[in-house]
Structure 1
Amino acid sequence: MKKPSFHDLIHGETPVLVDFYADWCGPCKQQAPILKQLTERVGDKVRVVKVNVDHSQAAANQYQIRSIPTMILFKNGKIVWRQSGVQPLHTLEGLVKQHSV
């Protein structure tokens, strides 16, 4: 079975939290364990996708990523939330609860 495309992922029923990051970015490294905790706590209510801006410049340009980390929450193909900077677990968990109903 082939892996779903980014387009297919963000157009699904399940909310998709996209983390635009880079390997050299200090704050991005701080965000990584928070995202891991989030997936452990909310399970399949959200799909977390990491997009390396150095490897996916087209995606970074398409979504006008100017600073990292930037997170965008998609639901049914639409952006329902977007924020730059390290996001605390309680903020992300609240978003997932709000948009996974």
Structure 2
Amino acid sequence: MSLEIRNDSSQPRWTPQEAAFTGIRGPSLQARLVVEGQGAIGPGEQGRVLAVVDMPTLSADTFFTLELRGESGRTLKLPNIRFLKAMMEGGQ
């Protein structure tokens, strides 16, 4: 999942360091996180991140919350993330 994140101008510089997808049912899925550029997103700036996870077989109605954790304990949570059924089944 690729996301563009905007850090509000009133917030300090932030560097995303970890990502996890958490479902209502089932375990949390730890993701690999890639941050574009030098990683830190300054006040009023935007940055792009890529969170990649090896998915187990899931039904199409499975929703996740993506949690990005960064330095100083600051987090960003994005609810209602759903993966396309064809991708979950390994289809094209």
In terms of Rg, which structure is larger? 2
The structure with more helix, counted as a fraction of residues: 1
Normalised by the length of structure 1, the TM-score is 0.25
Name which structure has the greater RCO, CA cutoff 8 Å, separation 6+.
Answer: 1
The structure with more strand, counted as a fraction of residues: 2
